[in-house]
Chains A and B, each alone.
Chain A
Amino acid sequence: MKNYRYVILGCSVAAVAAIEGIRSRDREGAVLVVGEEPCKAYGRPLISYYLLGETDLTRMDYRPDDFYRENGVTLRLGVRAEKIDPERKIVTLADGEQICYEKLLIATGSRPFDPPMQGIESVKERFHFMTKADALALEKALSPEKKVLIVGAGLIGLKCFEGIAARVKSVAIVDLAPRILPSILDDAGAKMVQSALEAHGAAFFLADSVLRFDGGTAYLKSGKEIAFDLLVTAVGVRPNTELIKEAGGEVNRGIAVDECGRTSLPNIFAAGDCAESFDIASGTHKVLALLPNAAFQGRTAGVNMAGGEAKLQNAVAFNSIGFFGTHVMTAGVYEGEMYCEAAERTYKALFTKDGLLKGFILINLPERAGIYLKLLKERIPLGRVDFEALKTAPAWSAFSPEAREANFAREV
């Protein structure tokens, strides 16, 4: 049986960040990465940009080709891990191979979740939009005479729309929620983005749902009917937690981890979309299925796996996402007092509570938005900055001279 000091299950962003975290402490220990997808880590959100023609399969690679070799990483791609024995510290792969670990990282991500939909099996061409393979399969089916139905007006469904809009005849998008991007936008923000998407041909059916499918027709709850050739379901995702659950580890919505990335099982860590984080904005443990958070968690876990000390203590939901040049940045929770500026093409909403910035929405206002995110993540008391000035424009002149000295006259 092969023996590795570090075994990582999953080969995406959390895995890469963990390798970097491990190697910041331990240049020698053998690392094995087991990935179910048959390829090295790629920027998963890039699949819509691939369909748009703004990147290609090579440029999508998340790290240079020699990254794994240079870091002494053995790759076992295209194979699934089936079972963990935490007592004996053994992972069993789908091909029967057993591997011994000293420290194990679960970075198995998430998978699409389709609620039961009547008649779904009568739909011939069905797709998800999570992986490179999904994007390539969808691309093969695209053609200018085809009508597409996307179920789900969240981040995945709408980025899919952006990717395919110019390559098909029409796209209809159905969502149960009364507004698009319901998890990250408020009503006013959602309306603005919806108009931008409609200008590119999106036909929305909101506060509606598919009651049943019959071949190329979707019958909606509202009584409307949509004829389509291709169906993309982007309703939701489920964290891949089974390995930990079956091994007896603690799992809620995602795998429960502490701020070092440790699961409840000894020597086993978890990071990325399969794991929970403590979200400082809501004060709750939840899955923050965001690429940067996977990187933060992966790095933290890697450092701790290699005997170092790292803690992730400022996790928060944030998104930066564009649709046909309309750019949306959001973070945190939308609670407390709201400051709002709305114009024809721009929208700003800042939410404050208990003297802290708790959340924000910025549409077409990307300039220096990181200063707002800093206030939120570092829970900087707004009494310590000139928040009146910051409301209008994020700037360091609103911070104290001492803060500027520490940040601009010193190494950071």
Chain B
Amino acid sequence: MKRIYVNEKWCLGCHLCEYECAYANSGIADMVRALKGKPIFPRVRVEDAGEVHFAVNCRHCSDPVCVQSCISGALTKGKDGVVRIDRQKCVGCLTCVLVCPYGAVLPSPEGHAAMKCQLCTDNMMGEPNCVKHCPNGAIVYEEREAAQ
């Protein structure tokens, strides 16, 4: 399946992907209205450590430990390979946050559910909006193989 991959050496740490993610998932068509003056809670997060910058979002693992660990059955891996969270079933215990080795499942601001990247299959964007707007190709959406 196509996933988001990181080209760390190209990332400038501009955090634009975070804004694009928050916008994509806001449900508001106008970007300024969606983001201006509001705290954002993106599902992709950029790490900055000195000269090193890179974006982290859900890896959509082939054997996702979050899905196995979910206490409510809210997390599933679909036939398309996308790991999704059913926010109606989720009770916000955050077990998935505790088991995700990437730190890519996040507590959501209202506290009643967890949130995660669903590759923009759950909004109107059609394909990952963070990748589409990355100015430098530091994140890409494509097929790749596991490391040997």
Contact = CB atoms under 8 A, between A and B. Distances in A.
Interface of A: 17, 43-46, 49, 54-55, 59-63, 291-292, 295-296, 299, 318, 320-322, 325, 327, 329, 331, 366-371, 373-374, 389, 394-398, 401, 404-412
Interface residues of B, number: 42
A315 B6 CA distance: 30
A292 B64 CA distance: 12
B127 to A, nearest CB: 18
B146 A401 contact: no
Contact of A396 (B94, B95, B102, B107): B102
A396 B69 CA distance: 22
**Chain A to chain B: the 5 pairs with minimum beta-carbon distance, closest first:** A368-B103, A397-B49, A292-B69, A374-B101, A370-B100
Contacts of B16: none
Contact of B47 (A17, A292, A395): A395
Nearest to A17: B68
A366 B144 contact: no
A43 B92 contact: no
Interface in B57-101: 59, 61-62, 68-69, 71-73, 88-89, 91-95, 97-101
A59 B69 CA distance: 17
Given A370-B101, A370-B103, A373-B99, A408 B6 contact: yes
16 contacts: A17-B68, A318-B99, A320-B93, A320-B98, A327-B94, A370-B102, A371-B102, A373-B101, A389-B49, A395-B47, A395-B103, A396-B47, A404-B6, A407-B59, A408-B8, A411-B144
Nearest to B140: A409
B30 to A, nearest CB: 30
Nearest to A62: B73
SS class, residues of chain B in contact with chain A: loop
A291 B72 CA distance: 10
Contacts of A291: 69, 71, 95
A329 to B, nearest CB: 5
B72 A55 contact: yes
A321 B103 contact: no
B130 to A, nearest CB: 14
Nearest to B112: A54
Contact of A366 (B49, B107, B112): B107
Contacts of B107: 327, 366-367
A318 B91 CA distance: 18
A162 to B, nearest CB: 11
A397 B47 contact: yes
